[in-house]
């Protein structure tokens, strides 16, 4: 993935603040501006909104590695669909837990919880999407 971690953090902040894009947040994710951004999130009551980030929570590599199109020679142990360690079939369960979580995901001013997708700026994600929830 060609995404930059800063852009992921900026997208989460932008969503928490109900801003339509994360571009204005990126320059504020520096040591000089971070305290002000944090204060703004706190004043808006958005500092403690919880996000589940699947890039950290799901190991896609352990389910797709060693397939010819990926040309990976690593030593990853593969987990297949019937294994309890297979994580790709858990998306529906995770979404249900997130939607049932109430305030940690859904805000008082919203009728429904949100599902936020963050892409790399070049759109390369669209050339290799594996899971659609």
**pLDDT for residue 73:** 76
3 state SS for 18-74: CCCCCCCCHHHCCCCCHHHHHHHHHHCCCCCCCCCCHHHHCCCHHHHCCCHHHCCCC
**pLDDT for residue 105:** 47
126 backbone dihedrals φ, ψ, rounded to 5° = -65, -15
**pLDDT for residue 101:** 58
d(CA 5, CA 15): 16
User: Which residues of the chain, if any, have pLDDT below 50?
Assistant: 1, 103-105, 133
Q: What is the pTM of this model?
A: 0.62
**pLDDT for residue 32:** 96
DSSP state of 101: T
**pLDDT for residue 119:** 74
**pLDDT for residue 39:** 97
């Amino acid at each position: 993935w060609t995404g930059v971690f800063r852009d992921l953090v900026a997208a989460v902040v932008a969503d928490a603040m109900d801003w339509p894009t994360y571009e204005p947040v990126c320059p504020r994710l520096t040591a000089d501006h971070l305290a002000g951004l944090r204060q703004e999130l706190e004043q808006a009551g958005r500092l403690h909104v919880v996000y589940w980030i699947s890039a950290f929570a799901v190991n896609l590599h352990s389910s797709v590695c060693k397939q010819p199109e990926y040309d990976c020679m690593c030593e990853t142990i593969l987990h297949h669909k019937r294994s309890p360690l297979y994580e790709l079939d858990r998306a529906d369960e995770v979404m249900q837990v997130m939607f049932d979580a109430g305030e940690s995901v859904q805000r008082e001013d919203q009728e429904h919880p949100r599902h936020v997708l963050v892409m790399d700026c070049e759109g390369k994600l669209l050339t290799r999407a594996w899971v659609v929830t």
